[in-house]
Amino acid sequence: MIQSIIFDMDGTLFQTDKILELALDDTFNYLRSLKKWDTITPIDQYRGIMGVPLPKVWEVLLPNHSQEEREQTDAYFLARLVENIKSGKGALYPHVEEVFRYLKANNCSIYIASNGLTEYLQAIVSYYNLDKWVTETFSIQQIQTLDKGDLVKSIIKKYDLKKAAVVGDRLSDINAAKANGLLAIGCNFDFAQENELAQADFVIDDLMELKPIIAKFEIAQGNTGS
């Protein structure tokens, strides 16, 4: 049976879309004020790469800027994101709490593995009191390789996980599951891409759909004597 589930955060548990454009607009307005940007905010470009670590985001969005400028931009963007979270402008996806209660009631441990930065993740966890369900939240900052597969591997090692699933909306989540021999469940939410989801074991349109998937997976394993 599934004993543990590792969730992605952005676009899976947290509706990042509600604060992303606000924070990105603020950030590029800041760059404009410094005479370091003179065109539209690249929100569509960001949506296309949503889910990759922020250092890689700024390499794509600011290809002609220095590393120091990218780091300054990153810090400003992070501050705006955190402020938006703390002011209640974000939201969890529907049924997050209900699904978490169901998982805990069925002795399934919950973890979060995200390409988001630690301060950002902690702001979400604190604002929505996710600690009462989530065993631990892991940031890509904890892994030198910036590889989500390695981040998931570290969770497996730390908690000696045996039968687990990864739930996320992007290819990095699916690949992280596959690389570690875990069940990959794709979320067809805001930032998801059809060609990426096609590589998951299951695809859901609502977190409530996790319940029957987990139940079916347990039955299938029972039939094989697992």
Domain boundaries along the sequence of the chain: 4-15+91-223, 17-86
Asked if pLDDT for residue 217 goes beyond 80, the answer is no
pLDDT digits (tens, 9 = 90+) for 173-207: 999 999 999 999 999 999 899 999 999 999 999 99
Predicted structure pTM score? 0.90
Query: Which pLDDT score is estimated for 54?
Result: 85
Query: Which pLDDT score is estimated for 218?
Result: 62
Query: Which pLDDT score is estimated for 221?
Result: 45
State the average pLDDT over residues 151-170.
Answer: 96
pLDDT digits (tens, 9 = 90+) for 54-74: 888 999 999 999 999 999 999
pLDDT digits (tens, 9 = 90+) for 104-147: 998 899 999 999 999 999 999 999 999 999 999 999 999 999 89
Nearest Cα neighbor of 45 from 73, 20, 65 is: 20
Cα–Cα distances (Å) from 67 to 56, 74, 139, 192, 226, in that order, read: 11, 10, 22, 29, 51
Sheet strands (E) in the chain: 4-7, 109-114, 134-139, 164-168, 183-187, 202-204
CATH number of 4-15+91-223: 3.40.50.1000
